[in-house]
């Protein structure tokens, strides 16, 4: 029995490509299936200015194998020193599609993030004026807030006040992990969207912690309780145009994941589309996969849906994905869902 599904070519609305040897290793994994991706700017040092984003885009395009096509959609990393004129110029030239807000210290390479939101007010106002969206890493970093509560607290303490103070600002809550995130998006009008990762549709915090700690399931925001995973599944498979795919595929060298102080990030670029087909089929929602992976994202960003397609095929035998890919002197582990998957992009 073979089943197949053809959908418009998907895009990834939240992706880490890194730089150097890692970029060369991981870029084909995304470009094989995806036409475009919003490229996260959390390099070391971060991509802060338009000039840095242009140089990074050129390095990405130089790393792309000659037989592949892929369009990186660049972003700027918002800092308290960001110049609103530089942001506006990078947007006007078509170089950038969003600005990324990391609360200082929230995640990998976020030391330059924002601590005092008053200092980014002028940039946010300008973005609202020119229609440039803000991508938000929605976690507070206060030491007294439990890591599993950081997204919910961020919505009340930071996100809602920012949105009220900046009417018209289009916001994408990145990689939501809680029912609080889902509910907040649903309670608001069309200027708010959210990305959902593949791995947060599959794992909860038990997968990370029960039976031994699984470093390759550790990412930020950290996976939450099962009830939250189910809320994400319901949102992703609902067809609601405010929810779309952002894999947050975040490669780290295995030596740094399998470590006493392991890095946060799941690498899902290789098998994301097959895993999503499995998830959507399990929820009786294969007919909504195209909306989630290929239509809702471009609509939110005001871009056309891709005109070419990919075909997913389900086979009798489980699909064999590589467990690791080579990257420079080390390897990167591909996300293992922990169950057999019969879908593949063919
Ligand atoms: C990301 C990374 O490694 O850059 N890690 C992660 O766990 N998602 C940073 C981020 O998006 O938070
Ligand atoms: Zn990310």
Ligand 1 neighbour 141 (Cβ under 6 A): no
Q: Whose CA is closest to atom 9 on ligand 1?
A: 108
Pocket probe mutation, ligand 1, options 42, 102, 265, 267, max atoms within 8 Å of Cβ: 265
> From ligand 1's centre to the CA of 132, what distance in Å?
22
> From ligand 2's centre to the CA of 130, what distance in Å?
25
Which ligand has the minimum distance to the alpha carbon of residue 18? 1
Q: What is the pLDDT of residue 110?
A: 85
**SS3 helix, strand, coil % of the chain, rounded to 5?**
40, 20, 45
Could you check whether the bond before residue 317 is cis, i.e. omega within 30 degrees of 0? Answer: no
Cα–Cα distance, 242 to 244 (Å, whole number): 7
Give the β-pairing of 343-345 and 12-15: unpaired
DSSP secondary structure letter of residue 276: H
Cβ atoms of residues 102 and 77 within 8 Å:
yes
Cβ atoms of residues 242 and 190 within 8 Å:
yes
Cβ atoms of residues 44 and 109 within 8 Å:
yes
Cα–Cα distance, 293 to 288 (Å, whole number): 9
Token code pair at residue 130: 């020119």
> From ligand 1's centre to the CA of 283, what distance in Å?
27
Ligand 1 neighbour 23 (Cβ under 6 A): no
Give the β-pairing of 3-8 and 309-314: antiparallel
Q: What is the pLDDT of residue 109?
A: 82
Q: What is the pLDDT of residue 1?
A: 58
Atom in ligand 1 nearest the alpha carbon of residue 102: 12
Q: Cα 195–96–77 angle (5° rounding)? A: 70
**C-beta neighbour count of 285 within 10 angstroms:** 18
Q: Which residues are catalytic?
A: 248
Q: What is the pLDDT of residue 257?
A: 98
Pocket probe mutation, ligand 1, options 250, 257, 332, max atoms within 8 Å of Cβ: 250
> From ligand 2's centre to the CA of 197, what distance in Å?
9
Residue whose entry in the numeric block shows the structure tokens 């418009």: 8
Atom in ligand 1 nearest the alpha carbon of residue 106: 12
Enumerate domains of the chain plus CATH numbers: 3-345 (3.20.20.140)
Q: Name the nearest CA neighbour of 159 among 195, 128, 134.
A: 134
Ligand 1 neighbour 264 (Cβ under 6 A): yes
Cβ atoms of residues 30 and 249 within 8 Å:
yes
Cα–Cα distance, 193 to 172 (Å, whole number): 5
> From ligand 2's centre to the CA of 14, what distance in Å?
6
Q: What is the pLDDT of residue 107?
A: 80
Q: Name the nearest CA neighbour of 223 among 249, 200, 243.
A: 200
Phi/psi class of residue 94: alpha, beta or left (left: φ > 0; alpha: ψ in -120 to 50)?
left
Could you check whether the bond before residue 181 is cis, i.e. omega within 30 degrees of 0? Answer: no
Q: What is the dihedral of CA 97, 201, 222, 249, to 10 degrees?
A: -40
Pocket probe mutation, ligand 1, options 137, 248, 249, 327, max atoms within 8 Å of Cβ: 248
> From ligand 1's centre to the CA of 76, what distance in Å?
16
CB burial of 300-323 (b: ≥16 within 10 Å; e: otherwise) equals bbeeebbeeebebbbeeeebeeee
Per the DSSP assignment, residues forming a β-bridge with 15 are 39, 249
Ligand 1 neighbour 248 (Cβ under 6 A): yes
Q: Whose CA is closest to atom 5 on ligand 1?
A: 265
Cα–Cα distance, 232 to 6 (Å, whole number): 24
Ligand 1 neighbour 100 (Cβ under 6 A): no
Under-70 pLDDT residues of the chain? 1-2
């Amino acid at each position: 029995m073979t089943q197949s599904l053809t959908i418009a070519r998907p895009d990834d609305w939240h992706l880490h490509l890194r730089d150097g040897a890692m970029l060369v290793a991981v870029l084909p994994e995304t470009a094989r299936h995806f036409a475009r991706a919003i490229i996260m700017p959390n390099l070391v040092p971060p991509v802060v200015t338009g000039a840095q984003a242009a140089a990074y885009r050129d390095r990405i395009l130089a790393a792309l194998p000659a037989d592949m096509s892929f369009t990186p959609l660049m972003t700027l990393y918002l800092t308290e020193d960001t110049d609103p004129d530089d942001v506006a110029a990078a947007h006007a030239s078509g170089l950038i599609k969003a600005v990324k807000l990391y609360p200082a210290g929230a995640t990998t390479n976020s030391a330059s993030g924002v601590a005092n939101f008053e200092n980014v007010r002028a940039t946010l106002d300008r973005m609202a004026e020119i229609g440039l969206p803000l991508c938000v890493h929605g976690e507070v970093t206060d030491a007294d807030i439990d890591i599993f509560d950081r997204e919910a607290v961020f919505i009340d303490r930071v996100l809602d006040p920012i949105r009220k103070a900046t009417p018209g600002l289009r916001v994408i809550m990145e990689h939501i992990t809680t029912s609080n995130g889902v509910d907040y998006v649903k309670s608001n009008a069309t200027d708010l969207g959210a990305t959902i990762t593949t791995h947060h549709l599959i794992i909860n915090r038990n997968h990370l912690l029960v039976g031994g700690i699984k470093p390759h399931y550790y990412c930020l925001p950290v996976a939450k309780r099962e009830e939250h995973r189910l809320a994400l599944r319901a949102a992703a498979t609902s067809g609601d145009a405010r929810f779309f795919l952002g894999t947050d595929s975040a490669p780290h060298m295995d030596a740094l994941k399998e470590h006493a102080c392991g890095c946060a990030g799941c690498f899902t670029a290789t098998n994301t589309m097959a895993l999503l087909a499995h998830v959507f089929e399990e929820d009786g929602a294969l007919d909504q996969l195209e909306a989630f992976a290929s239509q809702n994202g471009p609509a939110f960003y005001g871009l056309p849906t891709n005109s070419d397609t990919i075909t997913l095929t389900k086979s009798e035998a489980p699909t064999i994905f590589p467990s690791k890919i080579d990257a420079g002197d080390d390897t990167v582990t591909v996300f293992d869902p922990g169950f057999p998957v019969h879908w593949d992009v063919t």
